[in-house]
Amino acid sequence: MTDPVAFFALPPRPELSTRRCDLSCDYCRHCQPREIPAADLERVLARPTGGEPRAFRIRGGDPFLQGEIDRFVGWARGTPGSLASVEGPAATLAGPRSDEAVARLVHAKPDAVAAVLPTIERSQTARFTGRTWDPARALDTLARLAEAGLLVEVVFPVNAQTVPGLAQVVLRAAERLGSRGNVTLRRMPVVRRGSVALPLIGAERAWDELPALSAQVESLPSGLPGGARLHLDKHAGYAPCMLSPQARRPDLVHPPGRYHQPARPLGETCDRCAWSASCTFEPLVGRPAPELVRPLANEEALALQEDSGASVLTHRPKAFRTNRSALGLPELLCLAPWTTLSTTEPRFHPVPCALSWVDTQLSAAEIVAETGEDEAEVTRHLFEAQERFRGFWYVWDNEAFSVLELWNSPLLRRMRREMAGGAKSSRCRAMCRVVMGVEERGLEYFRPADQDLPRALAGNRRLLLEEIHAGKAVLTAKPLELMASASANCNIECGFCDGPKGATGDISDRRRDEIVELLPTLMSLGASGLGEPLMGKNYLFLLGHIADHGYPGLSVSLTTNGTLLTPEFLERHRNVPWSHVRISLNAGSAATHERVTGKQLFERVRRNLDALCALRDRRDNRFQVTLSCVLGSLQMGDLSRFALLVHDHQTDIVVEPMYGDMHELSPWTRPERLKVLAEELGSVAAEYELKNPPISRAFRAVETFARDRLAGTDFGALAHH
């Protein structure tokens, strides 16, 4: 039998195997009296699973009796360490074809079988599923499957109608299955009345089951009969703040993984919660109103985490998801000011992360306070730069200052000085993902052991560690990561971007030679900015140099429009140690791509994307590929096709609002247009909710942002910096 602890520890990945089912459950939004088109299923089964090990949950419709579950199970196990469960309605396991269902499942040999059980009362089954059946017989069938060596799971669909029977279902399932069974509480609100579908978002917003949910969980004994286990669904469950203190059982809480990144789905409410850094609640759809939750105090979070077995007390002051001391580091919030130099936008001061996360404005007095230079001289430089380049004095000319001078620029000095005590800098904006607790920065460069790095790189890193511990704001150690603007030109003209138009961004010959000198001590080299990097002759020189000479310990990232990322380019640079390639596609079809860029290049980009993903899949160390889309008026109506490209190529996804309002193309400044966009975002999110949850979450997050904006009164253009 599969180890239940191992199964529930893996990240879940739902996959839809069929929609066909003869029930009419009012909490099911997936089942229909028809199959998914065979071509869609074949497309799923033809692509490799890839990535990290996951718990694949094959569900939707009635896979107990419909679909080729043996093929799905074999496909799900394509990634070593992955496990597969088959989920269907408990009614099937209680029906006249239950023996057939058992035979199919035993033949397919999934790692787990899950049955959705809304009640233990036979008299209630027709109310919830549209047909009368015997829940006790369904539990008997699950017991038979457990005896055949399968891990079994009872999924209780939580909503305002079913929740009064929650404790009864949990106890009866525990009594019948004992330690062989698990009970998962999954939020499944009522989404239809008979054949009439209810508005998904409206249904999700009610959350009127919360008081009864707490009362039912409170009534359960601390230990379930027979050693059965109780869980909350990781992506459609509840957070501790939604339950009463007495209902916050430690077995319900999923401890964060080693590199867990909390979603903070409730915004400012999560900022007040001591559990937020440990919280694994990541809803696919909807979130309760702030008045329905109670953020945890520090003492409550400590007690919950202690009982849950979470390995790191992440909610304590200066205690983080990753143990800094194990890496030889002090307890700093963020390491980026000591590891990373980003000069991707010459009109702004260099930063250690993203420009939108940092307040880059510095007055002459602030610069003088950090450098001790003459204020009159600083003021003169600022004036000249603003007149000539509309920029800031020490970045106005690529030749004016060296990389190492930029590395100790006034802004970075100030951020290091202010962050040396462990808190954020006054220059860190609230939207910073590190400040929000969503991610960590700079730590990855301290994980490899010295003996696994080239001598020069290891030596520079040891010096950097000494200077970090000493709290130095001016460093003699060199950066471990360099992000640079690579080109002043672009071969397309997107309607939402004015581009550098030849003014700024090229890597000069001097800067090229400086980067070559830095390569032996760099761990990451990236290219981004307003121009197309692959049009920069000196950036192409650097890529060729890296491919031909090789720098162990170095990885390369790139943001490109994809038009020049040809198979020939990839073959010439096949030895470049890519870590991440992001293609700014901004369309899902040739027609939209032409409207956005003004050129007929979509099919070329498609071919280039195919070649890039083929290279990714051949690599022993697969690199990351991301497709991104700016959400402007030109992209509206094309988002489902964009999502399909992401899905078919197994890439990561970025969808982001259009900043500014060039050519009046922003839907974010026009409520009537934004409403249409929000509906489209929600539709795509629902379409991919089961077959690709990351796509669904990406679209749902921006849909939420759009609806929040519609509910307000400010429709000014979104500012990027």
How many C-beta neighbours within 10 Å does residue 73 have?
22
Is residue 391 pLDDT above 50, yes or no?
A: no
Asked if 273 and 329 sit in the same domain, the reply is: no
In a domain, 663, yes or no: no
pLDDT value of position 311: 41
Is residue 416 pLDDT above 80, yes or no?
A: yes
Is residue 105 pLDDT above 90, yes or no?
A: yes
pLDDT value of position 612: 96
Is residue 472 pLDDT above 80, yes or no?
A: yes
Looking up tokens 């009614």, which residue turns up? 91
Say how many CA atoms lie within 13 Å of 164 toward its Cβ.
5
Average pLDDT score over residue span 572-586: 94
In a domain, 693, yes or no: no
What band does 163 get if pLDDT is binned at 50, 70 and 90? very high
DSSP of 163-228, one letter per residue? GGGHHHHHHHHHHHHGGGEEEEEEE----EETTEEPPHHHHHHH-TTHHHHHHHHHTS-SS-GGG-
pTM of the model: 0.56
Asked if 222 and 275 sit in the same domain, the reply is: no
Give the list of residues 6+ apart from residue 687 with CB closer than 8 angstroms, or none: 640, 643, 696
In a domain, 125, yes or no: yes
Distance of CA 398 to the CA centre of its chain: 35
Is residue 153 pLDDT above 90, yes or no?
A: yes
Q: Where are the alpha helices (DSSP H) in 499-536?
A: 509-518
Give the pLDDT confidence of 246-266 residue by residue, as tens digits.
998 877 876 655 434 556 677
Asked if 343 and 464 sit in the same domain, the reply is: yes
pLDDT value of position 321: 56
Average pLDDT score over residue span 465-494: 88
Q: Is the dihedral of CA 237, 240, 244, 249 positive or negative?
A: positive
Asked if 314 and 402 sit in the same domain, the reply is: no
How many C-beta neighbours within 10 Å does residue 235 have?
23
Edge-first strand order for the sheet with 151-158 is 12-16, 55-59, 83-89, 112-116, 151-158, 181-187, 229-232
Distances (CA, A) of 576 to 143, 544, 562, 572: 54, 8, 17, 9
Residue 416 structural domain: 322-479
Domain of residue 82, CATH code? 3.20.20.70
d(CA 54, CA 50) in angstroms, rounded, equals 10
Asked if 219 and 261 sit in the same domain, the reply is: no
Among the listed ranges 2-6, 349-353, 661-665, which one has the minimum average pLDDT value?
A: 2-6
Asked if 217 and 94 sit in the same domain, the reply is: yes
Q: How many domains does the chain have?
A: 3
Which helix (H) or strand (E) covers residue 366, if one does?
helix 364-371
d(CA 667, CA 60) in angstroms, rounded, equals 35
Among the listed ranges 11-20, 326-335, 357-366, 633-642, which one has the minimum average pLDDT value?
A: 11-20
Give the pLDDT confidence of 36-91 residue by residue, as tens digits.
666 666 777 777 666 677 888 888 888 899 888 888 888 888 878 888 889 999 99
What band does 209 get if pLDDT is binned at 50, 70 and 90? very high
What is the DSSP pairing of strand 524-528 with strand 555-560?
parallel
In a domain, 648, yes or no: no
pLDDT value of position 394: 39
Question: What does the block give as tokens for 452?
Answer: 């696994």
Average pLDDT, the chain: 83
Is residue 13 pLDDT above 90, yes or no?
A: no
In a domain, 624, yes or no: no
Question: What does the block give as tokens for 259?
Answer: 């590199």
Asked if 224 and 248 sit in the same domain, the reply is: no
Asked if 206 and 355 sit in the same domain, the reply is: no
Give the pLDDT confidence of 122-142 residue by residue, as tens digits.
999 999 998 999 999 999 999
d(CA 351, CA 482) in angstroms, rounded, equals 11
DSSP of 632-686, one letter per residue? -GGGTT-HHHHHHHHHHHT-EEEEEEPPS-GGG--GGG-HHHHHHHHHHHHHHHH
pLDDT value of position 359: 81
Q: By percentage, how much of the chain surpasses pLDDT 90?
A: 40
Decide: 62 and 93 in contact? Cβ < 8 Å: no
* Domain termination site, one of 430, 454, 479: 479
pLDDT value of position 218: 95
212 vs 180, more confident: 212
Rounded to 10°, the helix 166-177/210-218 angle is: 40
Residue 112, classified by CB atoms within 10 Å of its CB into exposed (0-12), middle (13-18) or buried (19+), is: buried
Average pLDDT score over residue span 516-526: 95
In a domain, 674, yes or no: no
* Domain termination site, one of 204, 236, 268: 236
In a domain, 247, yes or no: yes
d(CA 714, CA 477) in angstroms, rounded, equals 46
What band does 24 get if pLDDT is binned at 50, 70 and 90? confident
Asked if 414 and 438 sit in the same domain, the reply is: yes
In a domain, 100, yes or no: yes
Is residue 215 pLDDT above 80, yes or no?
A: yes
Asked if 23 and 126 sit in the same domain, the reply is: yes
Asked if 17 and 93 sit in the same domain, the reply is: yes
Say how many CA atoms lie within 13 Å of 585 toward its Cβ.
34
Q: Which amino acid is at 366?
A: E
How many C-beta neighbours within 10 Å does residue 662 have?
15
Decide: 292 and 242 in contact? Cβ < 8 Å: yes
Distance of CA 652 to the CA centre of its chain: 8
Average pLDDT score over residue span 669-696: 88
Looking up tokens 């596609």, which residue turns up? 585
Average pLDDT score over residue span 232-254: 84
d(CA 370, CA 223) in angstroms, rounded, equals 60
Decide: 526 and 558 in contact? Cβ < 8 Å: yes
Asked if 155 and 8 sit in the same domain, the reply is: yes
Is residue 305 pLDDT above 90, yes or no?
A: no
Distance of CA 460 to the CA centre of its chain: 32
d(CA 454, CA 458) in angstroms, rounded, equals 6
pLDDT value of position 258: 42
Give the pLDDT confidence of 495-512 residue by residue, as tens digits.
666 666 656 677 888 889
* Domain termination site, one of 479, 507, 539: 479
